[in-house]
Amino acid sequence: MKQISALFLAAVALAPAAAMAAETPVRGGLLKFAVSAEPPNYDCHAQTSFAFIHPVRPHYNTLLEFNTAKYPAIKGDLAESWTVSKDGLTYTFKLRKGVRFHDGSTLTSEDIKATYERLRNPTGGVRSVRQATYADIASIETPNAQTVVFRLKKPNSGMLASFASPWDCIYSAAKLKQDPRFPERNIMGTGPFTFAGHVAGSHWTGRRFEQYYEKGKPYLAGYVAIFISGAPMVNALSAGEVIVEFRGHPPANRDRIVKALGNRAVVQETPWVCSLVVTFNTKKKPFDDQRVRKALNLAIDRWGGAQALSQVALVRHVGGILRPGYELAASEKELLEYPGFSRDVAASRAEARKLLAAAGVPNLSFTLTNRNVAMPYTPVGVFLIDQWRQIGLAVKHEQLETRLYLAAQQRDKPTFDAALDFNCDFMDEPNLQLQKYLSHDRAPINYAQQTDRVLDELFDRQSGELDRKKRYAILREFEKRALEQAYTIPTIWWHRIIVHHKPLKGWHITPSHYVGQDLADVWLDQ
Amino acid sequence: MLRFILHRTLLMIPTLLGVAVLVFFLLRLMPGDPVATMLLGDAGGANISQEVIDQERARLGLDQPLAVQFFKWFWGVLQGDFGVSMWTGRSVAYEIGIRLELSLQVAVMATILAVLLALPLGTLSAIFKDTWIDQAIRVFSIAGLAVPSFWLGMIIILLLLTYFSWIPPLTFTSFVDDPWENLSQLIWPALAVGYRYSAVSTRMMRSSILEVLQEDYIRTARAKGVMERLVVARHAMRNALLPVVTVISLEFAFLIGGLVVTEQVFNLNGIGKLFVEAVARSDFTMIQALVLLVSVFFVLVNFVMDLMYAFLDPRIRYR
Contacts of A240 in chain B (CB under 8 A): 165
Categorise residue A201: left if φ over 0, alpha if ψ from -120 to 50, beta otherwise.
left
Structural contact between residues B247 and B201, judged by C-beta atoms closer than 8 angstroms: yes
Interface touch A242/B170, C-beta < 8 Å: yes
Contacts of B94 in chain A (CB under 8 A): none
Q: Give the residues of chain B that fall short of pLDDT 50.
A: none
What's chain A's average pLDDT? 92
Cα–chain center distance at A72 = 14
Could you say which of A46, A240, A260 has the minimum Cβ distance to residue B44?
A: A46
Could you say which of A131, A240, A410 has the minimum Cβ distance to residue B45?
A: A410
Interface touch B95/A200, C-beta < 8 Å: yes
* Residue range A324-342, pLDDT digits in tens: 999 999 999 999 999 999 9
Structural contact between residues A186 and A41, judged by C-beta atoms closer than 8 angstroms: no
Backbone angles phi, psi at A462, to 5 degrees: -65, -35
* Residues in Cβ contact with B252 at an 8 Å cutoff, skipping those fewer than 6 apart: B107, B111, B301
Of the ranges A96-105, A116-125, B36-45, which one carries the lowest mean pLDDT score? B36-45
Task: Identify the pLDDT of residue B257.
Answer: 80
- Surface-to-core class of residue B110, CB atoms within 10 Å of its CB (0-12 exposed, 13-18 middle, 19+ buried): buried
Task: Identify the pLDDT of residue A15.
Answer: 47
Contact with chain A for residue B43, Cβ under 8 A:
yes
- What DSSP string describes A28-82? --EEEEEESS--SSS-GGG---HHHHHHHGGG---SEEE-GGGTT-EEESSEEEE
Closest-CA residue in chain B for A131?
B47
A28-55 burial by CB neighbour count: b if 16+ within 10 A, else e? ebebbbbbbbbbbbbbbbbbbbbbbbbb
Mutation target for A interface from B42, B86, B279: give the one with most A CBs within 10 A. Answer: B42
Backbone angles phi, psi at A274, to 5 degrees: -145, 140
Q: Could you give the CA distance from residue A125 to residue A129 in angstroms, rounded to a whole number?
A: 13
Helix (H) and strand (E) counts for chain A? Answer: 18, 19
Contacts of B272 in chain A (CB under 8 A): none
Angstroms from A202 CA to nearest CA on chain B: 6
Interface touch B277/A200, C-beta < 8 Å: yes
Task: Identify the pLDDT of residue B42.
Answer: 55
Identify which has the larger pLDDT, B1 or A426.
A426
Task: Identify the pLDDT of residue B317.
Answer: 61
Which amino acid makes up residue A69?
Answer: A
Of the ranges A440-444, A471-475, A505-509, which one carries the lowest mean pLDDT score? A440-444
Q: Report the relative pairing of strands A418-424 and A488-501 from DSSP bridges.
A: unpaired
Contact with chain A for residue B98, Cβ under 8 A:
yes
Mean pLDDT calculated for residue range A69-89: 95
Name the band, by pLDDT with cuts 50, 70 and 90, for residue A5: very low
Is the pTM of the predicted complex or chain greater than 0.90? no
Mutation target for B interface from A274, A410, A435: give the one with most B CBs within 10 A. Answer: A410
Asked if the ipTM is above 0.90, the reply is no
Task: Identify the pLDDT of residue A104.
Answer: 97
Model confidence at A415: pLDDT above 60: yes
Interface touch B170/A236, C-beta < 8 Å: yes
Task: Identify the pLDDT of residue B234.
Answer: 86
DSSP-assigned beta bridge partners for residue A265: A501
Structural contact between residues B251 and B197, judged by C-beta atoms closer than 8 angstroms: yes
Nearest to A441 by CA among A429, A431, A453, A458: A453
Structural contact between residues B70 and B24, judged by C-beta atoms closer than 8 angstroms: yes
Contact with chain B for residue A228, Cβ under 8 A:
yes
Give the three-state DSSP class for A294.
helix
Interface touch B44/A129, C-beta < 8 Å: yes
Compute the CA torsion angle B181, B185, B187, B189 (nearest 10 deg).
-170
Structural contact between residues A356 and A364, judged by C-beta atoms closer than 8 angstroms: yes
Interface touch A201/B99, C-beta < 8 Å: yes
Percent of chain A past pLDDT 70, that is, above it, reads 96
Interface touch B171/A444, C-beta < 8 Å: no
Contact with chain B for residue A49, Cβ under 8 A:
yes
Contacts of A224 in chain B (CB under 8 A): 171
Contacts of A203 in chain B (CB under 8 A): 170-171
Contacts of B60 in chain A (CB under 8 A): none
